[in-house]
Structure 1
């Protein structure tokens, strides 16, 4: 078994896309995205989709391949991505998986567990609770029901919070108790590389990226998506804050500051998730590409 999956992870805005393209060009292989926010074709600026120039430098998969109106679960991604990688491995012994969505990375590298059936009554009750009491009510309920998962999940992601509560309520057990303890065997080697920096640097990079998004037309992108604001895909950082501005509940400066704050919180949770994976070899964001290639070579032997 010589096929090797190189996994590139790290907090948002740290430079994962740039590294993955450099490696793909050197290894002459293709890239599979595990960034769940970049799956949707209607969302570009707020999700920091790779530029057309970046996409031309290396072949990418699972970038803007779905509509926000389509249901696409992590289980769907696991199946589709594994099928794609099996085909890619017939052409090259390397494939690169890149993204900051820890759950989606784990789905490929560790596999997913079977979860209990969820009744429509439970699902509808939680939706009603969200509609009447808001996300904070669900967050507090999850914190009590499953404090372990609460510390790992992006609590601003309504879908993830509701999904965890559905499982907790239906099974009477914490959602985290269903998460894979023993990784599934995959028919390829896995090399995990993390990119990080001091927290102040990460936060500065996030703030700068948000400013670039605003200048690049994020406001117009979100305005165009306002009719679909109730869709799950749009309940995410960078979009829900601008919706408040559109509805005149926040001014623009405050909405932008909230995007920055919520993105910083998201980055902190990403690091918490990834730091628990002892298989990840961490490199500073000002890495030497030679040092990373050397590490890959040693791990591939």
Structure 2
């Protein structure tokens, strides 16, 4: 093994077993885990975001798990800064850190850095939030199509936060959001080894369905009921919560809401895989791959790159 600082990045679709693998890697390399799962940042959202269990959190020290409130605004830019600061601290006492998450944008923020965007006027942000609350996401989508047809083609149009963020930049700068996106990566002072886990699509979908059933058993409904008064917050416009809000509003029955959570989570997993498959640096493994094989690959890459 080398004396270089190495960030081991674990990615893959939701419910594939990233938490379990990252804990095994942290135990093997005797290091800590930084979470890049943007849904797990919020302390009020435990069940619906599949936060690691108390046992799992004890097996390895985790950072950026339930450290914010849904009432706080916490952007990917804030996360990039906080995560890099944390890595710099962790690397003082260890040559390895594991970064784990299914949020491609947040993983990229740490490994590649973010593009620089113009300042956004708080008035514009407030106006868009009001517009979303009164007219819904459709109107915002149409506005984005007019102002930035290029970004409209590739953004997840159901992700309100992303759509609103792009519109904020368009309206504040008078230029398309996509014009601020470049391909220049920041040079990080540590080596990055990316590990991806995957499986046949049927297996991924089956694991997702099982996980949703387990969330319901663990008390997802009670968790969402407590959050109902805050349902307009950005953090809660996410799979597992918005479907139950529809049930609570009387729009859907419970069985249909649960089936929609499964369907929307499967769609989310598909988008995650599309994002990660574009990254040629990822070393892919089957979800059942023995941990010894994964650690051997990491150590070999590290030795070869010395």
Distance across 1 between alignment mates of 2:120 and 2:171: 9
Distance across 1 between alignment mates of 2:294 and 2:142: 41
Distance across 2 between alignment mates of 1:193 and 1:16: 10
Shift of 1:110: 0.5
Q: Verify the 8 A CA contact 1:111 1:180 in the aligned structure 2.
A: no
Partner of 2:295: 293
Partner of 2:87: 85
Q: Please, which of 207, 217, 220 is the counterpart of residue 219 of structure 2?
A: 217
Offset from partner CA, 1:120-177 (integer Å, 9 cap, x none): 4543443343223311332344356545544654433211111012223444444233
Partner of 1:200: 202
Residue 57 (structure 1) aligned with residue 59 (structure 2)? yes
The 5 A counterparts of 1:166-245 are 166-245=168-247
TM-score, normalization by structure 2: 0.93
Distance across 1 between alignment mates of 2:152 and 2:199: 24
142-151 vs 113-122, greater mean Cα deviation: 142-151
Partner of 1:261: 263
Distance across 2 between alignment mates of 1:144 and 1:210: 37
Which 5+ residue runs of structure 2 have no aligned equivalent?
none
The 5 A counterparts of 1:1-301 are 2-143=4-145, 145-146=147-148, 149-150=151-152, 152-301=154-303
Q: Verify the 8 A CA contact 2:115 2:181 in the aligned structure 1.
A: yes
Q: State the number of aligned residues.
A: 301
205-214 vs 131-140, greater mean Cα deviation: 131-140
Q: Verify the 8 A CA contact 2:133 2:232 in the aligned structure 1.
A: no
Mark the CA change 1:149 to 1:280 in structure 2 (over 3 Å): closer, same or farther.
farther
Secondary structure in 2 matching 1:241: helix
Offset from partner CA, 1:259-288 (integer Å, 9 cap, x none): 111111111111111111111111111112
Root-mean-square deviation over aligned CA pairs: 1.8
10-19 vs 165-174, greater mean Cα deviation: 165-174
Mark the CA change 1:106 to 1:151 in structure 2 (over 3 Å): closer, same or farther.
farther
Distance across 1 between alignment mates of 2:208 and 2:48: 12
Mark the CA change 1:215 to 1:147 in structure 2 (over 3 Å): closer, same or farther.
farther
Distance across 2 between alignment mates of 1:207 and 1:151: 29
Q: Verify the 8 A CA contact 2:33 2:63 in the aligned structure 1.
A: yes
Which 5+ residue runs of structure 1 have no aligned equivalent?
none
Mark the CA change 1:139 to 1:265 in structure 2 (over 3 Å): closer, same or farther.
farther
Mark the CA change 1:107 to 1:50 in structure 2 (over 3 Å): closer, same or farther.
same
